[in-house]
Amino acid sequence: MNTIHTVGIIGSGTMGNGIAQACATRGIRVVMVDIAQAAVDKGLATVAGSLDRLIKKDKISTADKDAALSLIQGSTNYDDLKGAQLVIEAATESE
């Protein structure tokens, strides 16, 4: 069985940033890609806020938060997914 070191996530909305957080808090590097930098920034901020809530509940430490955030790379460039062993599509559906 191969070990996954990097997960690529297409989409930084609710599902994408949640998956990114779940992976990063378990020590897996994440590349989270979206079509707009504003969406990427919002996704990263959502993860940071979620981790802050976990700190307040004494579920994780500030060091745990910092470690998780250091593992998440936000990007608007799909080429950044090249090194991922697993890519998950979690893009928002548009009509």
- Is the entire prediction scored with pTM above 0.75? yes
Spatial separation of the C-alpha atoms in residues 92 and 28, rounded to whole Å: 23
Spatial separation of the C-alpha atoms in residues 64 and 52, rounded to whole Å: 10
Spatial separation of the C-alpha atoms in residues 8 and 25, rounded to whole Å: 15
* Token reading at 38: 């504003």
pLDDT at 51 over 70: yes
Q: Which CATH class is domain 6-89?
A: alpha beta
pLDDT of 94 reads 72
Lowest mean pLDDT across 36-45, 49-58, 84-93:
84-93
